[in-house]
Each structure stands twice: as structure tokens, then as C-alpha cells.
Amino acid sequence: MIRLFKVKEKQLKEAENSNGKGPFNKQSAGELRLHKDISELNLPNSCSISFPNGKDNLMAFEILIKPDEGYYRGGKFGFTFNVSTIYPHEAPKVKCKTKVYHPNIDLEGNVCLNILREDWKPVLNINTIVYGLYHLFTEPNHEDPLNHEAAAVLRDNPEGFKNNVKTAMAGGRVGETKFTRCY
């Protein structure tokens, strides 16, 4: 067991050294896998990817989702992806940049998507995550919420939820929270 921890520590040190700060400038296995995943992306027309730090830094990128159906139709929602050098053995860290009234996204941008937590497996990829995020906007889930208030409204009053989403997306207030227009 101790030997396994030493191997993991060695891999992490090698990964830290491979990001251009160490003596070698070779890509980590995670960077190679991410490059492959991005080159094979098959995004829906309503999604786009950008690299704010340039294409030389694939480990941090952004996805823009513009749902074309459901409660969030017509909105624009940005997500940041930060990928560790041990990807795909660890899920990317994903945050929503757009303040949104949503049962599965809290007001700080944390995302409740099972494949980003307990159901992550190395066979999954960036494409899977993007489709999962898109699905959150077409079928929000009140059964596994981060925003419990929004989940309760969705469960108990779908028409009220629809009105709250429209108000929030238009830049209005829902309860005590002021939202920024995201059309």
C-alpha cells in the first residue's frame, strides 16, 4: 500500500515538472489525453469552446452553452473548465460563470452533475461533460439540488419556476438575489 502512495507522489511531481516550470517541457499524460479529447469534440450547435489563455494552455478553457429548448431557451451560460495534469483519473473542475437561477447550479457557480463527482470514470471525456451540462438546462433535476429553493419551486410549482427563470435571465430579482441579463 505504501508503495502505491509513493508511485502516486512520483506521478504528481512529474506532472508538476511537466507544465513547463521544471527542467523538462514535455506534456503529461493528462495533457495528451485532453488534447485528444478536444480534437475529437463533437459539440452541439448550441455550444462553443474558447481558450482565454491561448491554445498553448489547453488545461483551462471555457464552454458557452446556449440552450435552444426548455426553461433556459435563448440564454447564454459560460462555464470554466480547469483540468489537472492527472486527467482523466480526476474529473475537471467546472464552474458556471453566469449567475443562474437553477436547481443544480448554486449562486457561486458550483455545478451538481454526478459525472463531475462520484460517477466520474476515466473513460468519460470533455464531450460527455458538455452534454451533461447541456442536459441540465433542458431537464433541470429537482431531486439532486445545490439550490434547494429553486428545486422546491421546480418540484412544487413548475409554472412559478418558469417565471422565476425568465425573470432571472432578463436581469431581474428572484427573492433577494439580483441576476445579470444572460440573453
| CATH number of the CATH domain containing 43 | 3.10.110.10
Catalytic residue among 47, 96, 112, 182: 112
Is residue 24 situated within a structural domain?
yes
Look up 112 and say whether it is catalytic. yes
Cut 0.95: pTM above it: no
pLDDT tens digits, one per residue of 49-79: 999 998 888 999 999 999 999 999 999 999 9
Domain extent for 139: 11-178
E strand or H helix at 166: helix 158-169
Is residue 183 situated within a structural domain?
no
Is residue 53 situated within a structural domain?
yes
Contact 126, 142 (CB under 8 A): no
pLDDT tens digits, one per residue of 88-109: 999 999 999 999 999 999 999 9
Q: Cβ atoms within 10 A of the Cβ of 61, count? A: 21
Is residue 5 situated within a structural domain?
no
Indicate the range of 8-22, 142-156, 169-183 predicted with least confidence: 8-22
